[in-house]
Structure 1
Amino acid sequence: MTSTESVWVVDDDRSIRWVVEKALEKQGWQCESFANGESMLRQLEREHPTVILSDVRMEGMDGLELMQAIHSRHPELPVIIMTAHSDLDSAVASFQGGAFEYLPKPFDIPEAVELIRRAVEHAQEQRTEQTASAPRETQEIIGEAPAMQEVFRAIGRLSHSNITVLINGESGTGKELVAQALHRHSPRREHRFIALNMAAIPRDLIESELFGHEKGAFTGASGQRSGRFEQANGGTLFLDEIGDMPAETQTRLLRVLADGEFYRVGGHTAIKVDVRIIAATHQNLEHLVREGRFREDLFHRLNVIRIHIPRLSDRREDIPRLLEFFLAKAADELDVEAKTLRKDTVDFLCSLPWPGNVRQLENTCRWITVMASGREVFINDLPPELISEEQAEQASSHWVDGLKQWADRELTQGHQSILDTAVPMFERTMIEVALKHTAGRRRDAALLLGWGRNTLTRKIKELDMNEAGDED
């Protein structure tokens, strides 16, 4: 970077300005800071920086208003928006206001420096995109974790696009909620959002659901019926669990994506539609393609832009806010007072694995709202299966603690070469359990242990376990 490149920082927090300014100067950039947007705009009449870094919430002119004023004069000037409000609305509003990037607080200085570096390179190439504001989200997506911030960024970047999107993530992570957000922040937001779960429709009815049917097309087709493609015309069609779509339906869908038209079941007239496709799956589509269970050409049609939704266990920092949100939502739905979780209860819930992800967490909050006796919720007030789940987790790690205690005791008593005792004991135990799981078949047990059959046979002899299992 050359010293002629300058970065302006706008924030009403003096400490933020100081820290960022020092970090940027270390990179060799000229840096100037401002406490408000008005003073920065006055300076902009005389000078032209390379990049502007601005907070979104400030007294007087806020960051979004400031960005609009900047772009009305210098549409090519990259603006990075900082905000402590790490929600979808802030991300989308920033991107649709023309932000180059969105930086949630608190942030790491290296992260901020890298964003500014990219913005400087962008400014040098003089590429820009000016966008307009979008309506606010009607259903909140909560997420301060870095992985969720990436989801917010993707929604913001796609806000003026009709491009096909593939969403992947485990069941219960909120894939449909993200699809709805993509629709609401798209040019198609005034039209319908239609969702169809491939896994929930009987195989012989999927094509009728998607494409509709003519009267008499099959037994029970007493009249003409429009399918989901026609219902979503001009809008968005969300195909959930796309990996469960039958092969013959995949072929028809591919033709619709390629030609923009289809035939109703039993029909002979082509119907043209303008529909944006958002697909989702919890499966590995690449793996399904390799197995021949999913068409490769359809996969490439769908996999234009991919958004990954993280597991709840990968965004534990979001659990307290999610708990608060879902408890308030459940209380509102049931018209009762919202429950309050003790800190140790929140900590306990944050430590759980949550295999059902956000959906399981929401259902747990409904259970608490109905079943917990007092207003303040203790750990013992939680669903019994959650408590037993934690106990099972503790039991699974108990052997490690026991091994540590044994090793400490042996060393305290002055014993040496304790691995000579521990390793054979460990190997004997593993072999016994593996043989139990394979009904004594050594070949299969060796596979479970990750050994070759000859290695297992040798170990059995070394450990004097010659009666263990068969010789297969």
Structure 2
Amino acid sequence: MSVPYVVSQSDTARAAHLLLVDDDADLLRLISMRLSANGYRVTAAASAEAALARLSVERPDLVISDVRLPDRDGLALFGDIQRSHPSLPVILLTAHGTIPDAVEAMSRGVFGYLTKPFDSRVLLDKVTQALSLGATTESAGAHDDASWRAGIVSRSNRMAEVLEEARMVAASDASILIRGESGTGKELLARAIHRASPRAAAPFIAINCGAIPEQLLESELFGHVKGAFSGAIASHNGLFQAADGGTLFLDEIGDMPLALQVKLLRVLQERAVRPVGATRSVPIDVRIVSATHRNLDTAMAEGQFREDLFYRLNVVSLLLPPLSERREDIPLLAASFLRQLATKYRKTLSGFAPDAIEALATAAWPGNVRQLYNVVEQVSALSTAPLIPASLVQRALRVRSMEALTYAEAKQRFERNYLTQLLKLTDGNVSDAARLADRNRTEFYRLLQRHELTPAMFRNTA
């Protein structure tokens, strides 16, 4: 075992202090020189024990460690660091064979990892990000533990990247737009961002913009005063005021009517809300996280979503992958749901048979995580044995229960199917289809655009 050594610059009084841990002496020296040349003060250690000894003497601003160390696993070293210094960011260096371990570590709070060999510029960028996050997190009094992402079960590389980005932006006050298919867990991620932010002690308020009629949505968001409209027998604070100091989650923001988009934009610009019927605005301090499954670029091109509002909401964009692109998470999610549902149904459920797991892992999952939960609930309710058989899983997969759909999703699906049948019936003749639907052509065209349906697709060219 080589002896730890220190590499430093002559003028390092204000330089960030990095602790570098690797048992490869040549690589250790090379990375130390590169970091030092970029203005960092570097302490190098060749083993986990040497690193812990240095930590007991002086706390660095960042730890960069190899996953495979001679005396102790790099993940175990991370665990020791997390217990003693929960806000200290850690970057792991890993070979291809240890990537699953690194991804697992990220789910427990590691800032990130780099796969060897890596470009020095990539390392420097990652160091800059980690130091920026560490400074913000420390000043906010937050901790780098995994409690902020409670409920998000994952070990996939795709989700690890999303969670890393989410934790980084949580420390700021930037507006975030979460994109992803229905059922991917957008509200779950929004709640995790809130818990990781300096606003965690304040309220988190969620509203589905597509599930509330337009005439009620304005009052729900902005509030109203007594007598503002028929039925307003008392003043009512809206959700913006309820979320003051905290986070307001606007789910399915793409379904918000244009008239309300204008009023929402004004609230975001002025940081004040005027209740319906009021003459004065009320100052608010709210962080906005919004989500949509719609393509907002298409919606803006069709005039259904305001471009200025989009740029207000989309300061930071996070994309949640569909379940079909994170299949390694399916067994973990299914097992987690089974434990929850075993308690709900008061049953002894030990797990899934191997062929049942295979059926789950290879299914299409158009409804994503929400559909997976629904399938696991069905098999939990019907199972008569501790081990879930493949036959029950296959039965549940064949029938897409309405319970897997929200009201807004069911309404959207019906509307699309209805329009499709009308166009088929009229061979793509919009005038005839609109007449059958008892709608004018302009409104009917707007419905077709919303569902991305083209009349030409249904014309009988024969």
Q: TM-score, normalised by structure 1?
A: 0.68
The AA in structure 2 aligned to 1:249 is L
| Post-superposition offset of 1:53 | 2.0
* Secondary structure, aligned partner of 2:230: coil
Change (3 A) 1:285 1:61: closer
**Is residue 102 from structure 1 mapped to residue 115 from structure 2 by the alignment?**
no
Q: 1:126 & 1:149 partners in 2: Cα distance?
A: 15
1:164 aligns with 175
Aligned-pair distance for 1:353? 0.4
Report 1:266-285 matches (<5 A). Answer: 266-285=277-296
> In structure 1, what is the equivalent of residue 123 of structure 2?
119
Larger mean CA deviation between 179-188 and 211-220 belongs to 211-220
Partner of 2:76: 58
The question of 1:139 aligning with 2:150 is answered: yes
Contact 1:285/1:294 (CA < 8 Å) preserved in 2?
A: yes
The aligned counterpart of 2:193 is 182
Equivalent position to 1:35, from 43, 47, 71: 47
In 1, the alpha carbon distance for the partners of 2:326 and 2:301 equals: 31
| Aligned-residue offset at 1:440 | 10
Q: Is the 8 A contact 1:237 1:275 kept in 2?
A: yes
- 2:329 is aligned with 1:318: yes
Root mean square deviation of aligned Cα = 4.0
Question: 2:116 is matched by which residue type in structure 1?
Answer: I
Shift of 1:333: 2.4
Contact 1:261 1:271 in 2 (8 A): yes
- In structure 2, relative to structure 1, the CA distance for the partners of 1:212 and 1:44 (3 Å cut) is closer
- Give the direction of change, closer, same or farther, for the CA distance of 1:29–1:144 in structure 2 (3 Å limit): farther
The reply on whether 1:344 has 2:362 as its aligned counterpart is no
Q: 1:108 Cα deviation (Å)? A: 4.5
Q: Which residue of 2 aligns with 1:376?
A: 387
Once the two structures are TM-superposed, the CA of residue 165 in structure 1 deviates from its matched residue by 0.3
Secondary structure of residue in 1 paired with 2:321? coil
Does the aligned pair in 2 maintain the 1:183–1:236 contact within 8 Å?
A: yes
Q: Which residue of 2 aligns with 1:148?
A: 159
* Mapped pair 1:263 → 2:282: no
- What's 1:425 paired with? none
Residues of 1 paired with 2:378 and 2:204: CA distance?
30
CA–CA distance in structure 2, aligned partners of residues 124 and 86 of structure 1:
21
Aligned counterparts, 1:233-244, within 5 A: 233-244=244-255
What's the offset of the Cα at 1:29?
7.2
Letter in 1 for 2:101: A
Correspondences of 1:321-332 after superposition (within 5 Å) = 321-332=332-343
Alpha-carbon distance change, 330 to 60 in structure 1, aligned in 2, over 3 angstroms: closer
Residue 371 of structure 2 corresponds to residue 360 of structure 1 = yes
Cα deviation, residue 44, structure 1 = 11
- Which of these two proteins has the greater Rg computed from alpha carbons? 1
User: Does the C-alpha gap of structure 1 residues 217 and 184 become closer, same or farther in structure 2, counting only changes over 3 Å?
Assistant: same
Deviation at 1:39, TM superposition (A): 4.5
Partners in 2 of 1:234 and 1:217 — Cα distance? 26
Equivalent-residue separation in structure 2 for 1:201 and 1:440 (angstroms): 34
* Equivalent pair of 1:166/1:279 in contact (CA under 8 Å): yes
Contact 2:359 2:393 in 1 (8 A): no
1:199 alignment partner AA = G
Q: Deviations over 1:196-230 (max 9, x none)?
A: 00111012111001001111111111111111001
- The superposition leaves residues 391-449 of structure 1 with CA deviations (integer Å, 9 ceiling, x where unpaired) of xxxxxxxxxxxxxxxxxxxxxxxxxxxxxxxxxxxxxxxxxxxxxx99999xxxxx879
Checking the alignment, whether the CA contact within 8 Å between 1:86 and 1:143 is kept in structure 2 is no
Q: Report the 3-state secondary structure (helix = DSSP H, G, I; strand = E; otherwise coil) of the residue aligned with 2:207.
A: strand
What letter is aligned with 1:35? S
The separation in 2 between residues aligned to 1:383 and 1:218, in whole angstroms, is 52
**Conserved 8 A contact 1:67-1:79:** no
Measured after TM superposition, the shift of residue 329 of structure 1 is 1.0
SS at match of 1:62: helix
| Aligned counterpart in structure 2 of residue 84 of structure 1, from 95, 101, 110 | 101
Distance change in 2, residues 1:248/1:33 (3 Å): same
**Residues 340 and 126 (structure 1 numbering): CA distance in 2 closer, same or farther, change over 3 Å?**
closer
**1:139 Cα deviation after fit:** 3.2
2:349 and 2:385 in contact (8 A); partners too: no
Secondary structure, aligned partner of 2:237: coil
Q: Secondary structure at the match of 1:142?
A: coil
Residue identity in the other structure for 2:330: I
Give 3-state SS (helix, strand or coil) of 2:356's partner: helix
Contact 2:19 2:51 in 1 (8 A): no
SS of the aligned residue for 2:217 comes to helix
Change (3 A) 1:370 1:5: farther
Q: State the Cα deviation string for residues 139-183 of structure 1 (Å, max 9, x = none).
A: 321122121011111122123211100000000000000000000
> Matched residues in 2 for 1:144 and 1:385: separation?
25
Deviation at 1:358, TM superposition (A): 0.2
Question: 1-side partners of 2:61 and 2:288: how far apart?
Answer: 41
- Residues 26 and 252 of structure 1, relative CA distance in 2, 3 Å threshold: same
Which amino acid is 2:112 matched to?
A: Y
- Report SS of the residue matched to 2:290: strand
Q: Aligned letter for 1:53?
A: S
Contact 1:10 1:37 in 2 (8 A): no
2:271 is the alignment partner of 1:253: no
- Separation of aligned partners in 1, 2:65 and 2:272: 47
Who is 2:214 aligned against? 203
Going from structure 1 to structure 2, the CA distance change for 1:93 and 1:317 (only over 3 Å counts) comes to closer
Deviation at 1:8, TM superposition (A): 7.0
How many Å separate the matches in 2 of 1:266 and 1:277? 24
- State the one-letter code of the partner of 2:383: A
Distance between the aligned counterparts of 1:254 and 1:204, measured in 2?
Answer: 18
Identity fraction in percent? 35
